[in-house]
Amino acid sequence: MRKVLFYVPLVLFLGLSLFLLSGLFSDPRERDAVMVGKPLPAFSLPDLMNPAQTWTPDALKGQPFLLNVWGVWCPTCNAELGYMTQLRNEQGVRIIGLYYVLPEDPMFGQVFNLPVLQAEVATKLQQFGDPYQFNILDQQRRLSLDLGVSGAPEHFIVDAEGIVRAHHIGDINPQVWRTKLAAVYQQFAGGSQP
């Protein structure tokens, strides 16, 4: 009995060390992927560059795509435009933008101005690269809320039937794409790839 008790502190210490060690490698932004496996929530939103065009979940079906929540105000989003353009050109990844509009503060005379926004977006895309097939304008961020978006950038992989297959919070870089998203995308892109 005494011999066993002698090792109790050591075992407790090792257990605690392992527990804390695993914490060093965990991502605090990581959340339960509640959207994965669910269909896209219902929406009807205009195209950013061509507001006459309206997008609904059905209009996006037919081919898997990467849905990228972004905004020109977000430096990380701008930084990943280059790599995503590369993904589009080299691997034929279909990328659709979900434009996340920051709320305007009328106290400071801010009002939503679509032409100004369109000009800003065009400038950024020219500067960093344009990976998008098109952009959906989510001015009230209702679709973003329904998707469980907490900020920009975030990414969803949606399959040809409109089912969300992956949710990535944060930017896409070569490592993230290779280790986390490429496999999921290839799995659902398999048949429709040229």
Partner 1 sequence: MNRFFTPFLRYCRGSAVPGVSGSRAVSLTSLYAILLGLFMLSQSQAVLASETTATTSMNVEQPAAAVAAPQELQQFDSEQQRQLYLKLTAELRCPQCQNQNIADSNAVVAVDMREKTYELVQQGLNRNDVLDYMIDRYGDFVHYQPPVNRVTIWLWLAPVLLLISLFLLQLKRRANQITPKETYPHDSATQKMDTDRDEANKMTESKIQLNKELDQIIEHYRSKKS
Under the criterion CB under 8 A, does residue 23 sit at the interface with partner 1? Answer: no
- Work out which of 15, 51, 75, 103 binds partner 1, going by CB under 8 A: 103
The rounded Cα 15 to chain-centroid distance in angstroms is 36
Q: Which residue has the tokens 């809320």?
A: 145
Query: Binding pattern to partner 1, positions 107-136, x when CB under 8 A?
Result: x-----------------------------
Q: Is the CB of 17 or the CB of 110 nearer to partner 1?
A: 110
Between CA 139 and CA 161 the distance in angstroms is: 25
Which range touches partner 1 (CB under 8 A), out of 58-66, 147-155, 158-166, 182-190? 147-155
Give the angle 102-171-150 at the CA atoms, nearest 5°. Answer: 45
Between CA 57 and CA 41 the distance in angstroms is: 8
Between CA 113 and CA 47 the distance in angstroms is: 15
Residues in binding contact with partner 1, number by CB under 8 A: 24
Between CA 132 and CA 80 the distance in angstroms is: 12
Under the criterion CB under 8 A, does residue 106 sit at the interface with partner 1? Answer: yes
Q: How many CB atoms lie within 10 A of CB 183?
A: 11
User: Where in 73-102 is the site for partner 1 (CB under 8 A)?
Assistant: 102
Which range touches partner 1 (CB under 8 A), out of 2-10, 58-66, 86-94, 186-194? 2-10
Under the criterion CB under 8 A, does residue 3 sit at the interface with partner 1? Answer: yes
Min dist. Cβ of residue 37 to partner 1 (A): 13
The rounded Cα 122 to chain-centroid distance in angstroms is 20
- Positions that interact with partner 1 (CB under 8 A): 2-3, 6, 28-29, 31-35, 102-103, 105-107, 141, 144-151
